[in-house]
């Protein structure tokens, strides 16, 4: 090999080594900066206050999960209790249905289902419910005191 080739190879190796050192120092600086930023972010506590609507929805969820003195059906728990309350006592969203007669409840459910009383939420809940299931639900609700 000629001396020029040896010198060229040595220069290339030195340049690559220096390039490696520079890149490794930059990446370690980035890691340090990221760690400092993460540390500062973790010290800041978020002070997000819940809106009235979020508080209201949480309250409805608690009501839906509350236990009653008697057992209610799964359908009532999932479809009715979040708005009408666990025992039919009513909420800000929907009126009380406790203490209503079987006939009154069947009539109202049928009115909602058949759009005689316009309420898109009730219509959606009752749309795929059979008349027999409506009667069973009405009988259950009529037992609420």
Name the H helices within 44-130: 52-65, 74-75, 81-84, 102-113, 120-126
pLDDT-based confidence at 143, cuts 50/70/90?
confident
Query: What CATH architecture does domain 72-142 belong to?
Result: Orthogonal Bundle (1.10)
Instruction: Give the model's pLDDT for residue 104.
Output: 93
Q: Name the residue ranges covered by the structural domains of the chain.
A: 1-45, 72-142
> What is the pLDDT averaged over residues 38-54?
68
Instruction: Give the model's pLDDT for residue 67.
Output: 53
Give the span between the Cα atoms of 40 and 48, in whole angstroms. 18
Residue 103, pLDDT above cutoff 90: yes
Report if pTM > 0.75. no
| Tokens coding 27 | 């990446």
| Tokens coding 42 | 């973790």
- Tokens 């959606």 locate to 124
């Amino acid at each position: 090999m000629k001396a020029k080739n040896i010198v060229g190879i040595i220069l290339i190796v030195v340049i690559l080594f220096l390039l490696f050192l520079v890149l490794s120092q930059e990446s370690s600086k980035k890691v340090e900066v990221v760690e400092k930023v993460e540390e500062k972010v973790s010290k800041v506590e978020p002070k997000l206050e819940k809106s009235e609507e979020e508080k209201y929805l949480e309250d409805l969820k608690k009501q839906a999960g509350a236990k009653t003195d008697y057992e209610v059906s799964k359908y009532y728990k999932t479809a009715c209790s979040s708005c009408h309350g666990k025992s039919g006592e009513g909420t800000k969203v929907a009126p009380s249905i406790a203490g209503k007669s079987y006939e009154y409840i069947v009539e109202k459910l049928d009115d909602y289902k058949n759009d005689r009383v316009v309420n898109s939420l009730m219509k959606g809940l009752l749309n795929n419910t059979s008349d027999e299931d409506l009667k069973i639900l009405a009988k259950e609700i009529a037992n609420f005191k």
